[in-house]
Amino acid sequence: MVTPRDDALDWLLRFSDPIRGVGWNARTTLSPIWKLARARALLDGADAPDRAVPAVTIAGTNGKGSTAAMLAAIVAATGLRVGLFTQPHLHHFRERIRIDGRPIDASQFANAVEAARFSLAVLARHHPEAGEPTTFELSVVTAASAFARDGVDLAIYEVGLGGRLDPVNAIDPIASAITMIDLDHVGILGHTITAIAREKSGIMRPGRVVVTGVQRSAAQRVLSAEARRVAARLLVQQPLARVGNRQNGLVVTVPGIDRPITPGLRGDFQRANSAIAVGVARALSEIGFTISDDAIASGLGATRWPGRMELVDGSPPILIDGAHNPAGARALAAAMRPLIQRGYDLIVGSAGDKDIRLLLAPFARRARRVWTTSAGEGRSADPDRIAEIARELGATVQAMPSVAAAIEAARSGGAQFIVATGSLRIAALAREYCGLADGSD
């Protein structure tokens, strides 16, 4: 039987490209004028639900989802209710829209999609020249409607791609954040750090705080110049100081808090993301949100974000991470070193539009064996192609038909530790193999 949720999701996905994803629709207009205007018109057509809830927007190349999750956990630790919009999902679409830390339920989702349906009818009636929206644009409306209907106190939105022309940027935030900027999506955002930083800086607003970490000099120059141009208040946060490692993770200190904290998310790279989340939380405290140091400590420790340096105990242990670009791969490889004291087997798959050589480079010579596989999607790179590149990098490689087959082969081949990475879809399939998918879709 088709449920209202099934019908809602089927409808939403009609506006996506089966190969390129939810941010693409061949039936939309290519006119740049409608990049943001269409998203804003859709939100207004749904009675502007985004204006009913204070919002924070988060852009960047890597770490957006982790930073958003940490900020949501910090704010929730104060007793406030938080809406969180992120992408992509691991196992089911409703993971993209969370309230109080949990994906919205089927009924909430169907009701919120109805608001998006209505807004599309308004758009078609008043702006036929805009063309059809994308699934991602309609998802922003769906999330904003869900948050407004449920009366959350704060909504946190992760930017999808870039910043300046992303549909999330149609929302007017009370504060923003920009995580680490690196090369990714160069065919769309530009081939230099400067060009990509310019796109990310588009989320800044006059008179509003934007928090960032210590960026590459080229990116920092762009962010500083854009902040001056729009009269935004740019706050640059140093990574949280590391004071040690425990078996279950990193130990850090937060300025102004006199006790060490073990963040819920593993990886040395989370020191920068944590600092940005803390910076936004303290900026929110200056504009009416009461966020104590206890809430900051509690929220950082309580954060959970599946598929990011997620360690699954077993024989052998499996480390699952959705690193999907060279910067993410470098960060993961560095973060693994104190955790893995012996050789590991690497299971890797990737989208075909990524720089696979740079994605593999941090691992190829260190892994005992590399098992290449496919995420099973239209954008996935051929495992044989990935294997060829890995061999050129000096790895011992074998291509496998699936993530499950690769894990089984690694286990039967004597792997002492397994790392599954290359994309969030690979992370999702590894989690499903380990029995970690919740099955709620």
Q: Quick: pLDDT tens for 80-133.
A: 999 999 999 999 999 999 999 999 999 999 999 999 999 999 999 999 999 999
Establish if 364 belongs to a structural domain.
yes
Q: Does 441 fall in a domain?
A: no
- Which phi and psi angles does 244 have, rounded to 5°? 155, 180
d(CA 327, CA 62) in angstroms, rounded, equals 8
Contact 342, 417 (CB under 8 A): yes
DSSP state of 345: E
Q: How far apart are the first and last CA of the chain?
A: 14
**Is position 30 within any domain?**
yes
Per-residue pLDDT for 2 more than 50? no
- Band (pLDDT 50/70/90 cuts) for residue 387 is very high
Q: Which residue, 302, 328, 358, sits at the end of a domain? A: 302
Q: Is 395 left (phi over 0), alpha (psi -120 to 50) or beta?
A: beta
Given the structure tokens 């640059």, which residue do they identify? 236
pLDDT at 3 over 60: no
Q: Which domain holds residue 418?
A: 310-433
Confidence class for position 244, pLDDT limits 50, 70, 90: confident
| 342 and 209 part of one domain | no
187-221 core/surface letters (b: 16 or more CB in 10 A; e: else): eebbeebeebbbbbbbbbbeebbbbbbebeeebbe
Tokens matching residue 186:
């160069």
Domain match, 421 and 333 both = yes
User: Which DSSP letter does residue 93 get?
Assistant: G
CA–CA distance, 112 with 148 (Å, rounded to integer): 10
Please report which confidence band the pLDDT of residue 208 belongs to, taking 50, 70 and 90 as the band edges: very high
Helix (H) or strand (E) holding 8: helix 4-13
pLDDT of residue 316: 94
Mean residue pLDDT of the chain comes to 91
pLDDT of 439 over the 50 cut: no
Which backbone phi and psi does 431 adopt, to 5 degrees?
-65, -40
C-alpha to C-alpha distance for 77 and 236, rounded to whole angstroms: 24
Please indicate, yes or no, whether residues 270 and 336 belong to a single structural domain of this protein.
no
Q: What is the pLDDT of residues 228-241, one digit of tens each?
A: 999 999 999 999 99
* Nearest alpha-carbon partner for 176 in 215, 233, 96, 218: 233
Last residue within a domain, chosen from 302, 320, 348: 302
How many domains are contained in the chain?
2
**Residue 4 pLDDT exceeds 60:** no
Distance CA 362, CA 333 (A): 6
Strands (E), 179-332: 209-213, 233-237, 241-246, 249-253, 310-312, 318-320
Q: Which residues contact 79 (CB under 8 A, 6 or more apart)?
A: none
Regarding whether 111 and 252 lie in a shared domain, the answer is: yes
Residue 439 placed within a domain: no
pLDDT given at position 161: 83
Same domain (yes/no): 262, 410 = no
pTM greater than the 0.75 cutoff: yes
Q: Rounded to an integer, what distance in angstroms lies between the CA atom of residue 124 and that of residue 218? A: 42
Task: Give the span between the Cα atoms of 237 and 235, in whole angstroms.
Answer: 6
Do the domain assignments include residue 159? yes
Which of 55-69, 173-187, 357-371, 421-435 has the weakest average pLDDT? Answer: 173-187
pLDDT digits 0-9 by tens, 324-373: 888 889 989 988 887 787 789 999 999 877 889 999 999 988 999 999 99
Looking at the domain assignment, is residue 438 inside a domain? no
- The residues, ordered by sequence, that sit 6+ positions from 276 with a Cβ below 8 Å of its Cβ are 63, 67, 177, 179, 211, 212, 213, 237
Q: Are 321 and 307 in contact, with CB atoms under 8 Å apart?
A: yes
**Is the pLDDT score of 440 beyond 60?**
no
Task: Provide DSSP, 350-378.
Answer: -BTTS-HHHHHTTTTTTSSEEEE---SST
Say yes or no: 417 and 315 in one domain: yes
Q: Which two tokens stand for residue 355?
A: 């720089």
Domain C-terminal end among 302, 333, 353: 302
The answer on 88 and 61 residing in a single domain is yes
Query: 117 and 79 in one domain?
Result: yes
Mode of pairing for the β-strands spanning 175-178 and 233-237: unpaired
CA–CA separation, 265 vs 233, rounded Å?
28
Residue 191 lies in a domain: yes
Pair 367, 346: CB distance under 8 Å: yes
What confidence tens digit (pLDDT) does each residue in 302-332 have?
A: 999 999 999 999 999 999 999 888 888 998 9
Residues 100, 145: one domain?
yes
**Same domain, residue pair 346 and 268:** no
Measured CA to CA, the distance from residue 83 to residue 102 in angstroms comes to 9
Q: How far is CA 70 from the centre of its chain?
A: 12
More confident residue, 183 or 414: 414
Claim to verify: residue 119 and residue 145 sit in the same structural domain: yes
Cis peptide before 316 (omega within 30 of 0): yes
CATH number, residue 49: 3.40.1190.10
For 435, other C-beta atoms within 10 Å of its C-beta total: 8
Confidence of residue 6 (pLDDT cuts 50, 70, 90): low
d(CA 374, CA 385): 11
Burial of 2 (0-12, 13-18, 19+ CB in 10 A): exposed
Residue 115 and residue 144 in one domain: yes
In a domain, 440, yes or no: no
Bridge-based pairing of strands 249-253 and 310-312 is unpaired
CATH code, domain with 318: 3.90.190.20
Q: Which run of H or of E encompasses 58?
A: strand 55-59
